[in-house]
Amino acid sequence: MSGKKSYLLAYNGISTLLWSYILYNNIIDLSNGFFSYKLNEGIPHKFIIITQLINSSFEIFHSVVRLVPSPLATLFLQSFARLIIMIGICFVIPESPANFNLYIFSGLIFAWSITEIIRYGFYFLKLWQKNVPFALVWLRYSAFFVLYPLGLICESITVYDSYSVIEKRLPLYSKFLKFALPLYLPGFLYLYNYMIKQRRKVLRNEKQKLL
């Protein structure tokens, strides 16, 4: 096994486990009816912040050095939207009520974590045994029909619900968000159309293999 393959196997396997842990904690929080942290405990959603920062940094690096064929523009768009939440809201304004909205923020976590568990799990199996079960291939290129809109709605509401706090504390940042928030829709449409095109190509190839 080559060093590149071993590295990517480890990266995708660890990422799958990290997002599985995030999803598990989110399910526990929902069943309890509250998030497991309190405002006076500091920055909320620390584990997700760190995980997303690591993933974003590594994947942009992978794309730049051509370790993987992922388009850089797509990675930037996806990372930009998530980091507005993770850094721009959870880290910069931890007191924002949006960080404590159990159902909206849990919806956001569900959309992100399930997407990443499927994606990293798919890449791990593809590297490990090449022939990925068709069910997982279908899920990898179909789950986004539901998960992407869910993420868009929850991310937008989270930013909107934080705006009054940002406007009082960070006026300059509030102006940035006024510019950034309308970009969610065109960015979403770009990613959504990209995934639809990928789905057509991949599923067509998979069906040809079955013939």
Length of the chain measured in residues: 211
- Give CA–CA dist 55/83, Å, rounded: 11
For this structure, is 155 an active site residue?
yes
Its sign, for the CA torsion 24, 85, 150, 72, is negative
Catalytic residue chosen out of the listed positions 21, 41, 155, 190: 155
Three-state DSSP at 67 gives: coil
Its sign, for the CA torsion 94, 96, 102, 105, is negative
For this structure, is 41 an active site residue?
no
User: Would you give the end-to-end CA distance of the chain in angstroms?
Assistant: 31
Interacting residues of 164 by C-beta distance below 8 A, sequence separation 6+: none
Catalytic residue chosen out of the listed positions 148, 173, 184, 192: 148
DSSP 88: I
Catalytic residue positions?
A: 148, 155
